[in-house]
A and B are shown apart, each in its own frame.
Chain A
Amino acid sequence: MVLSALIDASRLQFALTAMFHWIFVPLTLGLGFIVAFMETKYYLFSKKEGIENSEKAGLWKKLTKFWARIFAINFAVGVATGIILEFQFGTNWSNYSWFVGDIFGAPLAIEGIFAFFMESTFFAVMYFGWDKVSKKFHLASTWLTAIGANLSAVWILIANAWMQYPVGMEFNPDTARNEMINFADVVFSPVAMNKLFHTATSAYMLASVVVIGISCWYLLKDRNRIYAVKSIKVAAVFGLISAVLLAYSGDGSAYNVAKHQPMKLAAMEGLYQGGTAAPLVGFALLDPDKEIGDGEDPYLFSISIPKALSFLATRDFNGFVPGIDDIINGGYTYTDRNGNEKVAVPFEQKRERGLLAIEALKEYSKAARTGNDSLKMSAASALEDNFEYFGYGYLDSAEESVPPVALTFYTFRIMVTLGAYFILFFIIALYLHRKGAFTAEGKKVKWFLYLAIISVPLVYICSQSGWIVAEVGRQPWTIQDLLPVQAAVSGVSASNVYTTVAIFFVLFTILLVAELKIMFNQIKKGFENIK
């Protein structure tokens, strides 16, 4: 009970800080490149002769400066909240930090050395250096800021992907820790590559929607039209490319989840009893009384696409997709990460084998202390045989191995629906732009202007939903199958953690309100005061 309160508090704190962090980061990831593109245009026009080119250069410079200000406001809060996450691994998930520090810590350290310094050094030039350095150096700095911001995302996402798909490591019974044996496996794992691609493109999409939303507000107010129209064009092209790639990588992401985290996929689909030719649920209402293993229909109402889930998960319309009950009961065949056909082990057996691994580790340590080499060897071999289920030894019941289904299920649908909507949104934006609808003489497209403004909060909901699917869906694992949350938390009391949750909540609320007020003020000021 005490432990459960601590786990809830620690998870709440992590969720709060991660979600707050992710309000600011995606905008800077995408906006960095948009600003860099705009400054490149400015630079190129400024090199050309003639009044027309000089006017164009002036326009792109103003665009660059305006969006760079929006970037800067978000950048500050992104940096501020990023350090909380880093510290929190130690303060609230100390066992986790110890257990996998050599693997997880390395990308974090590399992130600091390569990405953060690049980002912060060149950000200073980008923001303060207009009159102090050459145009070329300034342009390079803007690009390096954008690249630095994205590089830092790369390393932290590699670390996150590793938690969901632990590779390139082995367990050392002498130190009772996981140790890295292949850095390239960690960095270039298919899950990491896909996660990078998916998260980066989602950030670019978010930034594009924000740029279009703000620009449409100007059109609605009939202000700064020339800047707004240019911004819409740049953002719509960048957004459309990103949104299409996002959908593509989303498919890859679901395929990876199906392969490596079948329980997450089952939760995403609300699927309890799987099967071949499984349909993909388009929309459904989950039955709140549904329980694991009761055999009842999980949906009160549903609209499904036949065979689509099987195809998504196995690339075969008739492939078998296990549901929650199947994963708990085992017995179905699947292909493991090495390409071998295997029969799924039921939860109870996984738990038994997890306990065997844990017990073997205890025996190993005892034998090492007493110098009993034969016992040490047999314990090491028992540990190795059962290590893949190590984490299950900490779970008391099968229910604990199931993530919160409703939250994962609904957020998955919100993410996918909105993701598809945004592809359409960018197409419409580009179409209207081509038709000249945004010019003063253009057709009245007020509906789109309002739609674009409403889309801004929607894109944030979409982005946050994606992370909820990824992180809630993998519960209870901090490291898939190896370390559940209950074995990963620090030895802090729940009351201490709830106190810090309250402090962070108040702090974040103040920071968010301040940030939004500053942003709105900056937007209201528009392009008029930019030199």
Chain B
Amino acid sequence: METLYFLQHYWWAVVSLLGALLVFLLFVQGGQTLLFGTAASEDDKKAIISILGHKWEITFTTLVTFGGAAFASFPLFYSTSFGGAYWLWILILLLFVLQAVSYEFRSKASNLLGSRVYDLFLFLNGLFGTILLGVAVGTLFSGGAYAMDRLNITDTAAATVSYWTNDSMGLEAIANPFNLLLGIVVFLLARSLGLLYVINQYSVSEERRALVERCKVQLKVVPAAFVLLFAVFLVALFLRTGYETDPVTGYISAVKYKYFLNMWELVWPMILLLAGVVIVLAGLAGALFCKEGSFLSKNSFYITGAGAVLAVWAILICAAFNNTAYFPSTASLQDSLTLYNSSSSEFTLKVMAYVSIAVPFVLAYIVTVWRKMGGK
């Protein structure tokens, strides 16, 4: 039982880490939103595409792996959220499908729609893909209108175990201000990282000087908006009532300021979050205020990204650790999902834990290849 308890938490931490890495890698999406407005010419667009074109698949693959890991380790979450918040996930899916073809198709002759349309697809993926992913993550705190009863499987006429109780099928999650706030925060972070990435890649390029300058002008506004709204989000999160499960009986009850208490009681996520925030601020400050060529200025993209990974990881950890219901049901509270009632079996989690040992090697070869390719 103790092993299972450990593995459930281990896997939530791994899935959360994948989610946090995904948020960092959304700099690709942020960069795509620069195609309209910031890119002044076709050459600018090509320049942006050429540096993102090497990276988008890693972001995409991280999304797929995040989904796969969630499926394997918390299948009840996968089935409840995907099968219930149907339209939210379908919209995310469509936006990512459009992205996947656009990089390859945009510059090709006879591409049917013309490169502007593919650029528009990339822009839409960058803007709405990030916002909707943020909304989806927001539901881990705000919950979903579902009911779940395992014994439905014994009803031969209606065997579906979890189902949504409204007809909006996930669209209502987009209208939820808390989710939307998180969505906008994710978008602003992605856009900030996108700006930093373009500046990082073209800082010494004479040809792209004007593009870099335009990015730098935006850098005075976008990260500030991100920091401000992120602070609002954190306050909203910490003031939020969360739901706690009794690990013995499984009974779920409301706890005021649950997410703040999780940080407070567990301590280490609080440290992660604070460290993340400080590092993000240092990265942004490096880009804005430090001398060009200084360590902070040169590496601001990576520093900000690393800080974002830590902060997002801490927040996602707090969604489920400390006996928290990580996907509360707004329709039937006792049906809410927790690490204990939604995970795979001990055996599967253990097999996959062995597999997860390979993750650092995977990360190592990705970094090696990136470096070899010179990032350009």
Contacts and interface: CB of A to CB of B under 8 A. Distances in A.
Contact of A183 (B73, B87, B351): B351
A104 B72 CA distance: 7
A121 B366 contact: yes
Interface string A58-100: 0000000000000011011101111110110111111111111
A98 B112 contact: no
A108 B159 contact: no
B162 interface: yes
Nearest to A488: B159
B273 interface: no
Contacts of B167: 493
B75 to A, nearest CB: 2
Residue among B84, B108, B167, B376 with most chain A CB within 10 A: B108
B153 A176 contact: yes
Contact of B355 (A83, A109, A118, A486): A109
Interface in B151-207: 151, 153-154, 156-164, 167, 169
Interface string B314-356: 0000000000000000000000000000001101100110011
A393 B156 contact: yes
Nearest to A155: B68
B110 A82 contact: no
B248 interface: no
A8 interface: no
Interface stretch (B90-98, B208-216, B290-298, B300-308): B90-98
Nearest to A360: B154
Contacts of B376: 132
A135 interface: no
A493 B83 CA distance: 11
Interface in A266-311: none
Q: Report, as a range, how many residues of chain B touch the other chain.
A: 35 or more
Nearest to A484: B159
Q: Report, as a range, how many residues of chain A touch the other chain.
A: 35 or more
A121 B113 contact: no
A31 B327 CA distance: 44
B68 A507 contact: no
Contact of B105 (A76, A119, A489): A76
A424 interface: no
B150 A491 contact: no
Interface stretch (A123-131, A235-243, A317-325, A327-335): A123-131
B100 A116 contact: no
Interface string A109-124: 1111110111111111
Nearest to A489: B160
Interface stretch (B50-58, B226-234, B235-243, B262-270): B50-58
8 contacts: A97-B78, A99-B153, A100-B75, A110-B352, A116-B61, A362-B151, A496-B169, A520-B110
Interface of B: 53-55, 57-58, 60-61, 63-65, 67-69, 71-73, 75-76, 78-84, 86-87, 89-90, 93-94, 96-97, 100-101, 103-105, 108-113, 150-151, 153-154, 156-164, 167, 169, 344-345, 347-348, 351-352, 355-356, 358-359, 362, 365-366, 369, 372-374, 376
Interface of A: 3, 72-73, 75-77, 79-84, 86-87, 89-106, 108-114, 116-125, 128-129, 132-133, 137, 141, 172, 175-177, 179-181, 183, 355, 358-359, 361-362, 365, 393-394, 486-487, 489-493, 496, 500, 503, 507, 510-511, 513-515, 517-518, 520-522
